[in-house]
Homo-oligomer: A and B are copies of this chain.
């Protein structure tokens, strides 16, 4: 009877042997069983009782408990409160008000007496009734997994846990346990009435369900355990994939790594998007499936652009980033190099350094250690650096924004020029970034598009004698 309580207390509830535990004790069989098992396992138990003053016999209940505890020589922390008045003043149901006052008292006492946890006597029957009620109300995985052996109730205490060691023990077992240990529990007369929902569940609904499955209670308990495992697995995964994917969360914008997001399966993508949307308030939690589907479909296209999601929230994809932004939010441009308002002459500034917008800069040098960078140089592989043949370069260079009619002859596309606007589209340069994208030019000739491509005529060849090196960067990034 009540096997493995050592493991339950230590592993499932995380209690440290020898440190005091505060037990919320009503005097019924569940809480007396809790008290007795805690003591038998060697914990110092502080007993606390809260009198809700809801029933005419509540004094009798306190006295019955006092008698038991006096015999066992256990001190007894006593609280009481006018639950009805509290419920009225806070516009709460009587049940909610009773719960709030009771837990407030229990956690106050636990703090005051240095207890490691508040323990309560919820049984497997309470678990079944909780899960059943959550099912009836339409809960998801979180509600259907039921109560936990150990949990935090931050409304009452941010650190001290609430533990429920009897979640796997049926109410009948606690009654038998009390009888075997010569404990005389106080039997709450209101348990016998069908006035409260909880009792109607116990005496009417569950018997009805048992007519379909005589082992209904076992079945629900099994379900709750199985779903608790699934819940933990999901939580673990979603936490880690969220941590990997998120770049920043600001008041009106969540920024994510596009690749991390699209590298997940669609079901996880949906969860990550739902979490990003939840950032904008609880109204977004019940997002329709079609919205999530639209979002994952948009991401799967792999193209820059934007879509409306729901309630003014939009999703943008630009290069390596995905933004989810509130109505009217302007996306940041700080992640790109952008031109200031006017063209900058470069001729006299090689070697030298010029400032662009948003903290970006262009550095130019006449030559550079040819050994260290030879491989990069020959292949021009780092898109924000370029190595050019100095002798092919026009004398007058400038850095400017695009102009209508600009054309470009990308390296590798020998002697073939294309419209600069087509190049921008092909390379998926964000639409908003195009007008002010910095271009190294000489008059109408585009020499280098930082971040993208060098023009063919200025590439390094076997005949190159002198190298000009450009680098566009944002120091500190």
List residues of chain A with CB under 8 Å of any chain B CB: 7, 11, 133, 135-141, 144, 197, 200-201, 204-205, 208-209, 212-213, 215-216, 218-220, 222-223, 225-227, 229-230, 232-238, 240, 265-268, 270-271, 289-290, 293
B267 and A213 within 8 A (CB): no
B270 and A213 within 8 A (CB): no
Point out the residues of chain B lying under 8 angstroms from A238, CB to CB.
233
Point out the residues of chain B lying under 8 angstroms from A213, CB to CB.
136-138
Copies of this chain, whole number: 2
- Checking B205, B212, B225 against A209 with a beta-carbon cut-off of 8 angstroms, the contacting residue is B205
Extra pairs beyond A136-B213, A229-B267 (15, CB < 8 Å): A7-B290, A136-B212, A136-B216, A136-B219, A137-B213, A137-B219, A201-B212, A205-B208, A229-B271, A230-B230, A233-B234, A233-B267, A235-B267, A237-B268, A240-B265
Point out the residues of chain B lying under 8 angstroms from A290, CB to CB.
7
A208-B205, A223-B135 given; A141·B230 CB < 8 A: yes
Task: Kindly report which residue of chain B lies nearest to residue A226, judged by CB atoms.
Answer: B140
Give me 26 A-to-B residue pairs in the complex whose CB atoms sit less than 8 angstroms apart, sorted by A's number. A7-B290, A135-B219, A136-B213, A136-B216, A137-B213, A137-B219, A138-B215, A138-B223, A139-B223, A140-B226, A205-B209, A225-B289, A229-B267, A229-B270, A229-B271, A229-B289, A230-B230, A230-B234, A233-B234, A233-B238, A233-B265, A233-B267, A233-B271, A236-B267, A237-B265, A237-B268
A197 and B212 within 8 A (CB): yes
Report the separation of the CA atoms of residues A268 and B241 in the bound assembly, to the nearest whole angstrom.
Answer: 14
CB distance from A138 to the nearest CB of B (A): 3
Q: Is the interface of A mostly helix, strand, loop or mixed?
A: helix
B197 and A204 within 8 A (CB): no
Report the separation of the CA atoms of residues A192 and B265 in the bound assembly, to the nearest whole angstrom.
Answer: 46
CB distance from A97 to the nearest CB of B (A): 21
